[in-house]
Structure 1
Amino acid sequence: MKTVLLLLATLLAAPGSPARPILSDAEAAPFTEAGYFRYAGAYENPVVDPWQPQPIRTPRHPDFRVGGSHGFADVQQAVNAAYRRGGTRRLTIAVRPGTYTGTVFIPAGTPPLTIAGEGRADRVRLAFTLDATSTPAQWARQVNATGRYAAGDPAWPMFQSCATKTTATAALCATVVWAQSTDLQFKGLTITNTLLDTVDRGTHQALALRTDADRTQLEDMRLIGRQDTFLANADDTAAIARVSVRHSYVEGDTDFVFGRAAAVFDSSEFRLVSSRKESGGVIFAPNTQPHFRYGFLVTNSRIVADAGYRAAPTGHLGRAWDQGASATGYLPGVTPNGQLVIRDSYLGPGFDTAAPWAPAATTARPFTARVDPGRDLNDVNYNRLWEYRNHGW
């Protein structure tokens, strides 16, 4: 036993191994919330614009209410009202406990907005069933069956952008809540794509939440799905988008936290489940611009798996996405090269401890990291998925 413990200690020390790289204290120093949120603007010419997200506070008297006898019937109606009010003052939508079925689209140009549940997050639920394998026409009929979106509505262009797609499938339009506005806050809500285990273990993207803009905050949230639960993204592929997630819970089985944003996940829990896909599941799939240093940071969090994975530990912490490279293969310096640091966090049983990082999505590029002295953590010829000072396993 003593020999095993000594071997484990050696493996977890920097630089680790090509299959499980570990950062040194000096290498880990830049990977803090302040580092990830320091820059804004275009990737080609980023500007120093520090963002220091504060705890989300909700006023006693919100601007709009959803639910109850005097509130809007659903969140989309309240979002439309906030958009039409306009201005630069932060507006708040308070959502009463209940289940609100249907999508919510929050367009660019909405004033700074806070959407907050009243009471416990598990009692304020936004839910809908969407499958990315649907055609755009099928998606449009399903999403707008009740006339939720109409010409002239603030979110109509978002709806039309998906309804008129010429692709074979709806793809990433299959999301319950989709936000394109800056300075957006979510608090105390559960968002569920209820497709869940109704489909086979194949490729069924089914997003709960997609965010596309800068300075997005999530606090005390529950995001539940299976494949692609949470897309922390940037609608403008040339621009930095920052996302802060605190004290939240995310559940899924395949790439269920993914995207190109500079995102920090603090004091949160990520749970890999086996109810649909019983082996080889993946949590994170960052899609970071290849010459930008900051993709995802996970800190002071819990990364756990359900009983199925604990019985047969084949789960993976993450993989690079390599978006857009299916035809060309990975092109160093051109293809996105996902960046992620998991630090100061608990890693529960159920994962492949020898090879916790999977080959890249899209290209199946094998995972390998530099472990040589003086290594460049941003070498485009290698992966950028790292650990630092975690415990567990």
Structure 2
Amino acid sequence: MAQHRRRRTALAVTVPLALTAAGTLAYSLLPSTQPKASAATAAPAWATATADGFASVNALGQNGTYGGRDGKTVTVKTQADLEKYATSTAPYVIVVAAAINIDPVGKEIKVQSNKTIVGSGTAGQIVGGGFFLGQGVHNVIIRNLTIRDTYQGTWNDKDHDYDGIQMDGAHHVWIDHNDIRHMADGLIDSRKDTTYLTVSWNKLSQDNKAFGIGWTSNVTADITVHHNWIRETEQRNPSTDNVAHAHLYNNYLEDDPGTDITSSYGDYSRGKTNMVLENSYFQGINNPVIRDSTATLVQRGSVFSGTSGRNESGGSGASWDPKSFYGYSLDKAADVPALLKSGAGPRSSIGTTATTTTTTSSATTLTVAQDGSGQYKTVQAAVNAVPANNPSRVVISVKPGTYRELVKVPANKPHITIQGTGSSRKDTVIVYNNAAGTQKPDGSGTYGTGGSATVAVDADDFQARNLTISNDFDEAAHTNIAQQAVALRTGSDKVFLDGVIVSGDQDTLLVDTAAKEKIGRVYISNSYVIGNVDFIFGRATAVIDKSVITLKKRYDGTSAGFVTAPSTAANRKGILIANSTVSGDVSSRSFYLGRPWHAGGDATLDPQTTVRNTSLSGAIKTTPWTDMSGYSWKDDRFAEYKNTGAGSGAASSDRPQLTDAQAANQEVADWLGDWTPTAS
């Protein structure tokens, strides 16, 4: 078995990533002998992505998995062109920009080494065929594609061995953010000692066999399977046979009872496999976790909902720690369904050319790194370097690390994106600890609530992704001062937060506007917002979509809080929470969904919060709205629509529900108006 070397944590200085909503991308250092693309031929930002997990490990002469990023980028719309470049011995980034119908049906295109095959947004589709990676093929990335429809009318079809992606003896392969479905045989087959494989953020569905690994007597393969949504599949979810190290985490296995496919088992540790299974979510799966008597399976942290049959662990194999091979961060198992429903599968931001809303000029990139390998050592220094009234997008690419600083983006610096380049949104953290009652260093008084923000954004068309913004003010140590402590304050229009964590206690996220009479729209997707008291508040028109809102106990261990405190101006939209999850490790029935904040005692305000199509945990009170500072919530605009979970409830005078007609006018698009948030 090959000797492993742990993946380096240093980052290559190169074109920054256009990060996905799930935030799964990382960098590896190239070997000293590997040629680098010149500035004139540099690949697009998303084409510089490298794998995490076992595909990132330096072994078998390959330093991680980075695909064809050192070759030319080509766009294909026909089978002939796709085959031409995929089968070439030269490195390529191949952008699939159309639905390509494969002839004959079931043909698997033979991909050679050093390739990135990536769908252009959601347009890239392989219809009626798939890919094959043979013995020794290595350094291949297959991302952001829909691969579908070789199904010939018979489940478990022995006559049509048509797979979505088949690998026989390949190594260093990354399969990421694809939608693979409705194939004649397996969606993914990893066979004949294929190793250093990472499969992440895919949707695998509508098939008899989802993902088979092994089919060998050798016990040498190392694989990582994380953040995949596997549903409507009968078996191999995955099945791992004689795998030396199988690391499965944060996957969502779902059996939909309304389909003609019923799961026979979920995760399977076969032969002499040594599996570590962490923080996954099993919904309605028969025999969710099984193992052979010769296999080893370590389980920790998973959720099993409506499952039945075998759920096994144990074995005599040697224990191992995935972190001895590579770094990774776990999401909470309870958050996995919402996270993957919003984040798995092809992303519109991958494989496309980023543009701004004001110009067709390409984005300028500034790099930030604490170790001096970037242009700047602090995020604020990079913001300061952006020229006033910049007409086009500036991307501030921040390498992993904890940046303890205050960041202010002034109103005269629009079109700025701040993005982390780590493999997780947890890798890049901007944090400070001011509170409303904290004294300013110059002795001019205290910061006040808005002034306490770790990151303050007053510029229009601002974006942030794949990072954490936090305020870690120590409430227990400062009980004698005002404890509102903002992590992020926005006071502008067209703010897009994608794949971020905003974390604090009281008053975590302040969504404000430049003035009462000015509009300020904020769109937050695929993100986490964490806090306890009024932790999403302000007068902006703000949408939290496809995200997780995490309820947090107070510093003294008590559970009591309020999710929202809108201060919406009359005739404006307030706060909309849609298609999300509200949960946390707090006491039952201890949190309100919101209360009206009439800032400064302004009786003309008309605060609004709508929570719709969202899963509410039992932490939410049965009467979810309450008064504030003498103002009754019933005089303002608070409502729900088709929420689910233990914290949801039927319509009553204490729990107003929108009618279908009302809900039709309270969609995400109604909040955003003429603005369509687009990653850039």
1:227-376 aligned at under 5 Å gives the runs 227-276=506-555, 278-292=558-572, 294-306=573-585, 308-310=586-588, 313-325=589-601, 331=603, 334=604, 336-353=605-622, 355-360=623-628, 363-368=629-634
Q: Is the 8 A contact 1:200 1:276 kept in 2?
A: no
In 2, Cα distance between equivalents of 1:255 and 1:390:
21
Residue segments in structure 1 that go unaligned for 5+ positions in a row? 1-53, 142-162, 369-381
Measure how far apart 1:211 and its partner are: 0.6
CA distance change for structure 1 residues 177 and 268 in 2, over 3 Å: closer, same or farther?
same
Q: CA RMSD in A?
A: 2.4
In 2, Cα distance between equivalents of 1:58 and 1:131:
40
Q: Report the AA paired with residue 359 of structure 1.
A: D
Q: For residue 587 of structure 2, give the secondary structure of its aligned residue in structure 1.
A: helix
In 2, Cα distance between equivalents of 1:196 and 1:271:
19
Larger CA Rg, structure 1 vs 2: 2
Q: For residue 391 of structure 1, give the secondary structure of its aligned residue in structure 2.
A: coil
* Match of residue 377, structure 2, among 55, 73, 78: 73
Measure how far apart 1:133 and its partner are: 0.9
In the other structure, the counterpart of 2:102 is: none
In 1, Cα distance between equivalents of 2:574 and 2:609:
6
In the other structure, the counterpart of 2:459 is: 181
Q: For residue 69 of structure 1, give the secondary structure of its aligned residue in structure 2.
A: coil
* Match of residue 108, structure 1, among 399, 411, 416: 411
In the other structure, the counterpart of 1:375 is: none
Q: For residue 88 of structure 1, give the secondary structure of its aligned residue in structure 2.
A: coil
Q: Report the AA paired with residue 512 of structure 2.
A: N
Q: Is the 8 A contact 2:437 2:481 kept in 1?
A: no
In the other structure, the counterpart of 1:29 is: none
In the other structure, the counterpart of 1:387 is: 640
CA distance change for structure 1 residues 202 and 80 in 2, over 3 Å: closer, same or farther?
closer
CA distance change for structure 1 residues 101 and 221 in 2, over 3 Å: closer, same or farther?
same
Q: Is the 8 A contact 2:553 2:560 kept in 1?
A: no
Q: Is the 8 A contact 1:192 1:208 kept in 2?
A: yes
In the other structure, the counterpart of 1:225 is: 504
In 2, Cα distance between equivalents of 1:196 and 1:189:
22
| CA deviation string 1:209-229 (max 9, x = no partner) | 001000011000101100110
In 2, Cα distance between equivalents of 1:171 and 1:227:
10
In 2, Cα distance between equivalents of 1:289 and 1:55:
33
Q: For residue 367 of structure 2, give the secondary structure of its aligned residue in structure 1.
A: strand
In the other structure, the counterpart of 2:386 is: 82
| CA deviation string 1:24-74 (max 9, x = no partner) | xxxxxxxxxxxxxxxxxxxxxxxxxxxxxx759897996100004332110
Q: Is 2:400 aligned against 1:97?
A: yes
Q: Report the AA paired with residue 176 of structure 1.
A: T
Measure how far apart 1:367 and its partner are: 3.0
Q: For residue 516 of structure 2, give the secondary structure of its aligned residue in structure 1.
A: coil
The structure richer in strand per residue is 2
Measure how far apart 1:271 and its partner are: 1.2
Q: Report the AA paired with residue 593 of structure 2.
A: L
Q: Report the AA paired with residue 356 of structure 1.
A: P
In 2, Cα distance between equivalents of 1:203 and 1:365:
22
Measure how far apart 1:169 and its partner are: 5.5
In the other structure, the counterpart of 1:195 is: 473
* Match of residue 139, structure 1, among 440, 448, 460: 440
In 2, Cα distance between equivalents of 1:260 and 1:82:
28
Query: What is the aligned residue count?
Result: 286
In 2, Cα distance between equivalents of 1:219 and 1:64:
19
Q: For residue 121 of structure 1, give the secondary structure of its aligned residue in structure 2.
A: coil
Q: Report the AA paired with residue 322 of structure 1.
A: H
CA distance change for structure 1 residues 170 and 291 in 2, over 3 Å: closer, same or farther?
same
Residue segments in structure 2 that go unaligned for 5+ positions in a row? 1-347, 355-361, 647-680
In 1, Cα distance between equivalents of 2:483 and 2:560:
16
Q: Is 2:488 aligned against 1:209?
A: yes
In the other structure, the counterpart of 1:14 is: none
Q: Report the AA paired with residue 612 of structure 2.
A: R
Measure how far apart 1:202 and its partner are: 8.0
Measure how far apart 1:349 and its partner are: 1.2
Higher RCO, 1 vs 2 (CA within 8 Å, ≥6 residues apart): 1
Query: TM-score of the superposition, structure 2-length normalised?
Result: 0.40
Measure how far apart 1:296 and its partner are: 1.0
Q: Report the AA paired with residue 139 of structure 1.
A: K
The structure richer in helix per residue is 1
CA distance change for structure 1 residues 201 and 359 in 2, over 3 Å: closer, same or farther?
farther
| CA deviation string 1:147-203 (max 9, x = no partner) | xxxxxxxxxxxxxxxx85xx7653320110001000000111101101144344984
In 2, Cα distance between equivalents of 1:224 and 1:201:
22
In 2, Cα distance between equivalents of 1:252 and 1:286:
15
In the other structure, the counterpart of 1:39 is: none
Q: Is the 8 A contact 2:547 2:579 kept in 1?
A: yes
Q: For residue 80 of structure 1, give the secondary structure of its aligned residue in structure 2.
A: helix
In 1, Cα distance between equivalents of 2:459 and 2:554:
34
More deviation, 195-204/183-192: 195-204
Query: TM-score of the superposition, structure 1-length normalised?
Result: 0.68
Q: Is the 8 A contact 2:532 2:551 kept in 1?
A: yes
Q: Report the AA paired with residue 568 of structure 2.
A: T
In 1, Cα distance between equivalents of 2:612 and 2:481:
31
